Amino acid sequence: MNVTGDLTNYQNAVYDISVTVNNPLSGFEFSLAETGKFYSSQLVTFSGVEGYLFDQSGNFFGGYASGTPFDLTVYHDYTNNTFSYYKDEILIANKLDITGASKGATDNSVNCVFLEKNDSQITVAVSGQSKDSLAKHATSQVNARFDSGIMDVATNASMLSSFTDPNGTLTAGGFNAGRADTFWAKDIDFTSVSVWNNRGYDDSSGADFRKRGATAITKRHIIMAKHFKLQASDVVYFVDPDGTWISRTISAIADHGSEDITVGVLSESLPDNISFVKILSSNVNDFLKVVAATNSILTHYRPIIAGFDFEKKLTLMELTNAIVASNSRATYNAVPAVLPDPYGELAETLASGDSGQPAFIILNGEPVLITSYHTTTYGPSYAAFIAAINTLIASADSTAGVDTKLKVTEFNMNTLDLFKF
């Protein structure tokens, strides 16, 4: 029999556990675990057989008798991924590594207890921090909209319906395409994402006016990849919630001196039904478990994020770092085979022509801008360049002869009450 008790997500917590085992000869096992829609991880496990008690490393530490409760206290150091435990108030082991079996769990926080034993009882009292990590919160936002084995790129990834290759004319192909009912994230507001422009890109396969991404970061400004940017006088298109296309002309642009960032100012404000996107907070690393030696996010603490390609398919990726002090890159894994299961089902490898398209982390149902693609593996981390982007806004305004006094909006991480490392 597998008995499960659900807990709030806890980190840096103390677990007071009382276990009563009947028929001790047959043995038992219980675990502090992390479970979710697509994963299960037994983080800390204790077992007993024939009256002897063992921890998950196989160390013998005491005994038990039929029908007589024994008490364990487990201290989970979530920050350092270790645990200590006491039996009947006596310290048995200190700062052991958590080496429990993992099947795709997101961040090694405890949210349930398993007891595998017939006719036995376990009680758990918890004190500590009951907060989501950023990784768990962001991944849960994807999980709520994703059905493993049902979702696939061909059916569910396209934001627009029949958004086909324009074949070299400004009004052909997918021009004026409506919103797709099968889009997996149709309840999220992505109206800030441009879908078309009159410059496009002409290569050996012909002109394609879906290429050269741009994303609205104020009601009057867009952000782009400098190496694949639009220019002053170009026209850019957005799609409102009802599927109506909205166009605006770019009045002027401003390039960052060294980073792959360009800001453009539009000839007039976007209508109220076209949103601008917030930028990921400049203190995002406080909420990520980063390995100092490599500046990367520890494997199980990597959020699942989402990014568009030029065909306006929104596919899944794994964020591997958000801000790196040496080069301020946001890096991501987009290759389906590299992503943890089952997210590769809704992933694709980025390709030539996708440059400048945006990548988002979903926070509380809202898309928050991380970067625009520079390559297939990284882009400038906008969280590290908020002040610089605001300077580019002012520069583009000046060139256009306007003074909008607008600045980007930084997403307030404190509204989510997330765990800080």
Given a contact cutoff of 8 angstroms between Cβ atoms, the answer to whether 159 and 312 are in contact is yes
Query: Parallel, antiparallel, or unpaired for β 90-97 and 102-103?
Result: unpaired
Which CATH class for the 2-130 domain? Answer: mainly beta
Q: In the chain, which residues have pLDDT < 50?
A: 1
Domain positions in the chain are 2-130, 138-416
Q: 10 Å Cβ neighbour count for 144?
A: 11
Residue 77 identity: D
pLDDT (tens digit per residue) in 183-222: 999 999 999 999 999 999 998 778 999 999 999 999 999 9
Across 89-198, the runs of DSSP E, i.e. the strands, are: 90-97, 102-103, 110-116, 121-129, 196-197
Task: Pick one of 2.40.10.120, 1.10.3470.10, 1.20.120.350, 3.40.50.720 as the CATH number of 138-416.
Answer: 2.40.10.120
pLDDT score for 1: 45
pLDDT (tens digit per residue) in 385-404: 999 999 999 999 999 999 99
d(CA 287, CA 340): 21
pLDDT score for 101: 64
What is the value of pTM for the model shown?
A: 0.93
